[in-house]
Structure 1
C-alpha cells in the first residue's frame, strides 16, 4: 500500500506512527499476555529514557575564551585567519583533544 505524503498528513501522524507505517510495524495483542508490554511499547518507553550523552561539553564562557585566545594569537602573530584551516593545525588540535576540537571548529 502506498501513501501520498503531504504536510497535512504528516501533521496528523505522530513521528512514531510515521516510523511504524514506513517500516511496516504493527502492534499485536495476545489475549493471554495482558500484563506483558508489546515490543513497540517497550521501544517507546526506551526512547523516552535515553541516557545522557557521554560526550564532554565545555561551558560557554570557556569556549568563548578559547576562541578569543585563538583569534588573539592570530592577530598578535600577524598571521592570516586561514591559518586555522591548515590541515596540520587542525590535526594537532584533534590529537590534543578531539572533543574540544569538535566544539571549537
Structure 2
C-alpha cells in the first residue's frame, strides 16, 4: 500500500484501486487504476500546482463524479508525482492471472 496525506485528504493506492479519503468528512472515492486520471496545471507564480484526480471518461476526467482537486506546493507535488508513477506502474502491469 502507498499513501500520502494532503491537508485533510488521504491519497492511497491499495493493489489496483486508488482511493481519495477525507479525515474531516464522510467522504471517499475509489477508482480502479485502469480508469483513474490525473491532470496538472502549474506551477503558478507562487510555485503551486493544481491537480485534478478523477475517473476518466472518453479520455477526460469526469468532474461530475465527485471531489477531484487539490493544490500542492513544490515538495508536495514531488511526492504526488511519485505516487502517480506507482499508480501508472500498477495500471501497466495489468491484473494478476488467476
TM-score by length of 1: 0.24
Greater Rg over alpha carbons, structure? 1
Structure with a larger share of its residues in helix: 1
Which is bigger in relative contact order (C-alpha 8 A, separation at least 6)?
Answer: 2
More strand by share: 2
Question: Normalising to structure 2: TM-score of the pair?
Answer: 0.25
